[in-house]
Amino acid sequence: MNLGKQLAAICRKETGLSEMQVSLLVRISAVFPFVADLVHGKLSLYLRSGRDFVIAAEVMPHTVYMPKKQSSLGAHIAAQEEPLVAAVFRTGARQAGKREWTYGAMIDMYAFGIHDGQSVLAVMTFDVDTERLSIHGYRCLLETAIDVLEYARRGVSPEAWHPLAPSDGIIVADGRSRIIFANEAAQRICRVLGVGNLKGCRLFDRLLTRHITRETVEHDCPWQKEIEGAGMILIQRTLDLQEGGVQKRRIVLLSDVTEIRARDKEIRIQSAIIQEIHHRVKNNLQMMASLLRLQARRSKSQEVKDALKVSIHRIQSISIVHEFLSQQGTEDIDVQEVLHQIVGLVALDLSDKDFIVHTEYRGPRLVLPSRYASSIALVLNELLLNTMKHAFEGRKSGTIGLRVEEEPEMWRLDLYDDGVGLPADFAERPHRSLGLQIVKTLVEGDLGGTFALQNDSRGMGYGTHALLTIAKPDDVERPGYQAESDTL
């Protein structure tokens, strides 16, 4: 449950506030995380609940370390235990004092009211260790935080007021764009841009912008732009606080993303190189398949032709994997997609042109790392070759399906068809099929699983099931359920 919903639920359960008043508090709660970061302290919201107070919201800051305490969200607090909160409810005036944070350690507490007309609707408190913060001009941050909360009463976009990071530069300017506060991070960033002292400067002063070489405004986030200058790349977020259409205060936030952009560029370059490698490997494999196909056409021996055709299919199945990896730009493969493409190739080469293959997929999407790709492709290729050769003899159509089941340590795959099934004495026959030997070796060796062939539970004539288990790698995602069918 998000912050606004939690707040609304506590209001309705513990207080007699009207829906309009609850809605007001929920609107303001959109900026609670931002405000907690701005003041570098814990934010708490108190409501009246009978003779007691109830804590309706708690937010810890991201910009400073504070020892964690057990959450008091929803807890009832006797009025005498929170004298500053009680004083704000009684008088409506802001209060400041001390409170014990941990045993023997005192920190500052600031309390002020959220008003609905003349009455105090709720009391907001900030618990701040200002002594350790040592922020020159901290009072300006407090005043700015209160202005933000007041501005949020009309409703704001949460995306614009997302939380801060500890390394973010914070600049606050007055209604005339004159800087009245700048934290150390902002001073450090601006020193690189050639500005010695920010306080007293105007936001649009040439001194602040002379070293900036590029600005890019994000259309979806008009309050944000990326700027580049003096070897740095910065994200600048500008938040205007207005009252009655008049500029009251402006907050400028600077995030240094130089290293992040450099890493992103390096990753993009590496990804492009890997995609190009996969593309070239695919082309080389297709050339090998073409050479073997040419050799098969020139051969006068049917046995040689058949052997070369099987080899071509094996090469093409691996080529499909490299084509898939070269196009999608990730190092994972979707087994259902690979199966669909291999079915298309095998059906085209080994069946009559009028033969129709229906495909079915049931269960979760099976996405595996690329190191499994070639083995999976070869396994599917060998099983599908056997299916197309033996299962649908004398028929105009057939169905090939894949059912996937996920268990904590493995995947269970059932590659099935609705063909003639296995002969009654299949289990007693000596198996010299190279294809089945390849499948068994790859499944047990590379994939860490098991392999078995059996008829449908209804008996012969209802199809064959190739049952595989694959040990689940640690980096496999858990996709959602999927059931679909297709026709080739």
Segments making up each domain of the chain, as ranges = 1-158, 167-256, 259-329, 331-488
Nearby residues of 459 by Cβ (< 8 Å), 6 or more positions away: 421
- Mean pLDDT computed over every residue of the chain: 84
Specify the pLDDT at position 356.
84
Task: Report the pLDDT averaged over residues 354-377.
Answer: 83
**What superfamily would CATH give domain 331-488?**
Histidine kinase-like ATPase, C-terminal domain (3.30.565.10)
pLDDT of residue 331: 64
Place domain 167-256 in its CATH homologous superfamily: PAS domain (3.30.450.20)
Lowest mean pLDDT among 70-74, 301-305, 422-426, 473-477: 473-477
> What does CATH list as the number for 1-158?
3.30.450.280
Model confidence at 348, pLDDT cuts 50, 70, 90, reads: low
Which residues are within 8 A (CB) of 362 and not within 5 positions of it... i.e. 6 or more apart? Answer: 401, 402, 403, 404, 482, 483
Q: Is 187 exposed, middle or buried (0-12, 13-18, 19+ CB in 10 A)?
A: middle
Q: What is the pLDDT of residue 109?
A: 94
Residue with token string 């996969």: 278
pLDDT computed for residue 215 by the predictor: 78
pLDDT of 477 above 60 = no
Tell me how far apart the alpha carbons of residues 306 and 224 are, in angstroms, rounded to a whole number.
64
351 confidence band (pLDDT: 50, 70, 90): low
Check if the beta carbon of residue 149 is closer than 8 Å to that of residue 45.
Answer: no
Judge if 167-256 and 331-488 fold alike in CATH terms: no
The rounded distance, in Å, linking the Cα atoms of 68 and 65 is 9
Query: Highest-confidence range of 52-61, 206-215, 437-446, by mean pLDDT?
Result: 52-61
Cα separation of 48 and 32, whole Å?
19
For the ranges 21-30, 365-374, 457-466, the maximum mean pLDDT occurs at 21-30
Taking the whole predicted model, whether its pTM rises above 0.75 is answered as no
Residue 478: predicted pLDDT: 44
Predicted local confidence at residue 479, as pLDDT? 45
pLDDT at 194: 74
**Residue 325: DSSP 8-state:** H
> Is a pLDDT exceeding 70 seen at residue 83?
yes
According to the per-residue pLDDT averaged within each range, which of 12-26, 229-243, 285-299, 305-319 is highest?
A: 12-26
Residue 167 in this model has a pLDDT that exceeds 80: yes
Q: Side chain identity at 445, as an amino acid letter?
A: G
Is pLDDT at 454 greater than 70 in this prediction? yes
